[in-house]
Amino acid sequence: MREDAIEREIEGMLGLRERREKDSDLYKIANEVFDRTTKETLAYLHRRGKIEALHGVISTGKEANVFAGVDAEGNRIAIKIYRTYTTEFRRIWEYLAADPRVGYLPKDMRKLVFVWTRREFKNLRRAIKYAVRVPEPVIFRNNVLVMEFIGDELPAPRIKDVERSLEPSDFEELYDFTMGVIERLWKRGDMVHGDLSEYNILLHERPVVIDWSQATVRRNRMSVELLKRDLRNVINYFGRKGVDVDDFDDKFRELVGV
């Protein structure tokens, strides 16, 4: 597909009907993130009907940006686009190298990001299998992951975003939910999230756990440390909110059986 045709397709997805719209925050962020590989991937998904339009930015980060959008049938979707060149190279490499599910690792950063994207897609599917509420993955290609949009007109907030409006009983329920996720993943799914915190749980009807890029299986030599990280994050946060939390050492021994 010719480059000028891809550019027109991307501009159509971004809703850039007039020249002045290119001053929008959406265009500026997209222009920073969308290299040629990303544009070709978005154009491919657009032709497949998986992405009809991008409507706004949900979140930005060092590794990836997440956009709100719609598919060809008008369904709301979230589109996570990993940067093909990132300062997080060493961290990504270490996580992938330790994961027994991952075979040969390419030395090219762009291709490594493709492996990282595929891994998150598989992690989401595995979490669903073990009854953890996550954004349902739709499709991935290269560095782009299309998922269920969590929210109504606006994206659902994280616990951290609305903590001041929560009651003590809300924190108690959320603590029970989050510890239940840790236990269910570890005991039934042989899996650990690895970055579970108030920043990665959305509140929409019922809590939804997001950001599964670093999640892995128990066979991973890093899994125990990641489990400890999740337990510390959750116990420390909810303890500060007045919840009667578990003792870290007792809970860790209960899960790992030592």
241 vs 175: CA distance, rounded Å = 10
- Could you confirm whether 195 is annotated as catalytic? yes
Please report, as a single letter, which amino acid is at residue 57: V
215 vs 226: CA distance, rounded Å = 9
| Set 161, 170, 190, 195: catalytic member | 195
Residue 54, CA distances (Å) to 15, 68, 136, 162, 225 in order: 8, 6, 18, 26, 37
What count of Cα atoms within 13 Å lies in the side-chain half-sphere of residue 147?
32
| Set 211, 230, 244, 246: catalytic member | 211
The 10 Å Cβ neighbour count of residue 16 is: 17
14: tokens are 């971004």
Tell which residue, 103, 204, 97, has the closest CA to residue 155.
Answer: 204
C-alpha torsion sign, points 146, 80, 111, 200 = negative
Q: Give the residue numbers marked as catalytic.
A: 195, 211
